[in-house]
Structure 1
Amino acid sequence: MAVRLDHIIVPAHDKKTSAEFLAGILGLEVSPQYGPFLPLVVGNEVTLDFMDSDDVHWQHCAFLVEEAEFDEIFARIKASGATFYAHPDRSGIGEINHQHGGRGVYFDDPAGHAMEVLTAPYS
């Protein structure tokens, strides 16, 4: 069997706020709570398990999307009022990038994690 990522735990100050924020941006639904986790399943069936925590350390999650989805998602990012930027060091505030023959944007979630949406993989 090939090794595949199944899930990642995303610590948040308020798991409901963070999970619903990202679900809204990506156009997804939050799954019912499972134990201490509030799951968000993405298209390749990887689950982001949001968990309440007082110990939140910065994480980065990147989501590969189609061009049309990017436009929809980017509109929701702007409408949310979230800070967005072109580069992982949080430079290029209010801009997107055009790396690897596609488009990409980083944005902050309510817990301070850097989320990314891109249309072309880095490889």
Structure 2
Amino acid sequence: MAATFNHTIIASRDRERSARFYRDLLELSPAPSWGPFTNIRLDDGVLLQFAEPPVEIQMQHYAFLVDDDLFDRAYRRLCDDGVEHWADPQMQLAGQTNTEHGGRGVYFKDPAGHGIELITRPYL
């Protein structure tokens, strides 16, 4: 069997709130959860597990490849919800999207402060 990405744990201040944020933004269905995890499953089967660690949360970066229609809907939700966002990872171009790599992209932070990126075309 070839190696594939299966799951990751995303540190959250409020695991339910973070999972709901991602579910709503990416239009995902709830997944079974257990123990200290609130889970969501991406369409390719990758499991995102949200947990509340007993330590300070260090920012991580998570990028999601989405189609143009989902990008439009997600971007509209970000704007409607007043989520601060940028066209660049340096957070200099506020309130904008980019057209890098032949697609569109946007950067913002999730409820735990992680850097999130939505892109419509892969970098490679």
- Range class of TM-score, shorter chain: over 0.9
Task: Tell me the TM-score normalised to structure 2 length.
Answer: 0.93
Residue number in structure 2 paired with 1:8? 8
| Aligned 1:23-102 pairs, distance under 5 A | 23-53=23-53, 54-102=55-103
Aligned length, in residue pairs: 123
Match of 1:121 in 2: 122
Q: CA deviation at 1:71?
A: 0.6
| SS across alignment from 2:39 | strand
Distance 1:25 1:12, change over 3 A: same
CA RMSD of superposed structures (Å)? 1.1
**Which 4+ stretches in 1 moved above 3 angstroms?**
none
Identical pairs, percent: 39
- Check the 8 A contact 1:30/1:38 in 2, yes or no: no
Structure 2 spans left out of the alignment, 5+ residues: none
CA distance in 2, matches of 1:52, 1:13: 6
